[in-house]
Structure 1
Amino acid sequence: MKTRQKTRAHLAWAAARLMAEQGIDNPQLALNKAVARFGPIDKHRLPEPEEIDAALIEYNRLFRPATQNAELARQRVLALEAMEFLAEFDPRLTGAALEGTAGRHSVITLQVFADAPEEVMRKLLDAHLPFRETSCRCRLRGENTAFPALSFYVDETPMELCIFPATPAGRAAAAGNREGAASIRELRTLLGKPAGTGNGERG
């Protein structure tokens, strides 16, 4: 048992180091690279994404606290500005910027809800913000489903909008995509900013 725990911890740390040093934003991708370096490993010894995230937080705390804290704060401020701009689509922040693992290469990931993806596209086009159409995947009714997404840059930082239907099913799919999601109000609280008014935000 001790050997298995040591292997899991070692792999989590190796994957976290790759994320920090190579700018990998996906824990599973980093783990795959770490495993490739060690050779075949019992799948029961592989760490979960949450363990890799925890290791990344610890790595940043030990080896680059000032740099990482500044970058995390910067990304959260950018996320808040984007969410306020997109307030009519009830945006939620997910991913590294919310979890505290964001580095200089991390993508800011937002979930938005609309009756049609074209509504969000029109909002970006009206603001003369160039974007690329992509997709994000999550589970809906037990199946891995692709949802439309838009990728663009804000102050040279990559941002992705995952667009979900503004329906109970769409919100359920978004909720199952990551462990946590923060609204505009919750992100303001996280940043220590006073609650805003008049921007149409929801809870």
Structure 2
Amino acid sequence: MDEQITEFEHARRKAAERMGVTNRRLWPDNGEIQERLLEQQRLFGGSTYQDEQHSLLQQSLAAMQLFVSFTPRLVGPVLAGTATRAQGIELQVFTDNTEEIIWTLIDHRIPWSADQASFRYAGNQRQDHPIVRFLAGAVPVQIDVLPPKARHNPPLDPVSNRPQRGASPDQVAQLLTETQCCIRSSPGNQDR
């Protein structure tokens, strides 16, 4: 989701102004900003942060199971561990027929909206692909509908500028297990 990159750019400019650094080559890149954001959330977010990340992973896995026949992959801030409920969940699915995604939502009586978004690929190529959005409770979900060939040549991650491999449902289930262990062992969460 491009909102996070806009937030990174704002943070970068604000920090550079405060520090009086005008040489852009000395500014941190998106990956460095994401690492610091994650550190801050882990240090100061406490159990609230852990609970929110665990909940977002649970909702991601539930959404992935809905689209399991389209080889879903979790990407973006939830996978990075920096997401908030307001930022929501981003999934990639692989099909040449967006209508199949929409019919899945209709069959489950989930209100949706569709749009197009531009994705960057290796070689600085851009391609537009459909996206479908819906709400899972109060959490926005964005489904990037990519062609099947994009499984092997995925769009570039806007933070790292590397191919966005994402996580499969099995990998997200493993992350859920790991975050549940962290929640139980965290101070103040011994009763869970």
Q: Unaligned stretches of 5+ in structure 1?
A: 1-23, 194-203
Aligned residues with identical type, % of pairs: 29
Q: Unaligned stretches of 5+ in structure 2?
A: 158-162, 179-192
Contact 1:25 1:106 in 2 (8 A): no
* Counterpart among 91, 108, 111 of residue 110 in structure 1: 91
TM-score, L = length of structure 2:
0.78
Higher relative contact order (CA 8 A, sep 6+): 2
C-alpha RMSD of matched pairs (Å): 2.3
TM-score, L = length of structure 1:
0.74
Q: In terms of mean alpha carbon deviation, does 76-85 or 127-136 score higher?
A: 127-136
Give the aligned residue type for 2:58. Answer: V
- Provide the rounded CA distance (Å) in 2 between the counterparts of 1:28 and 1:155: 25
2:187 is aligned to none
2:156 is aligned to 176
Contact 2:117 2:128 in 1 (8 A): yes
- Provide the rounded CA distance (Å) in 1 between the counterparts of 2:94 and 2:28: 32
* Counterpart among 29, 43, 65 of residue 6 in structure 2: 29
1:101 is aligned to 82
Q: How does 1:183-202 map to 2 (within 5 A)?
A: 183-192=168-177
- Provide the rounded CA distance (Å) in 1 between the counterparts of 2:134 and 2:107: 14
Q: What is the CA-CA distance between 1:47 and the residue it aligns to? A: 1.5
Q: How does 1:2-21 map to 2 (within 5 A)?
A: none
1:154 is aligned to 136
Task: Kindly indicate whether residue 104 of structure 2 is the aligned counterpart of residue 127 of structure 1.
Answer: no
| Aligned residue pairs, count | 168
- CA separation of 1:62/1:29 partners in 2, compared to 1, >3 Å: closer, same or farther? same
Contact 2:154 2:165 in 1 (8 A): no
- Provide the rounded CA distance (Å) in 1 between the counterparts of 2:77 and 2:97: 27
Task: Kindly indicate whether residue 69 of structure 2 is the aligned counterpart of residue 58 of structure 1.
Answer: no
Q: What is the CA-CA distance between 1:91 and the residue it aligns to? A: 0.2
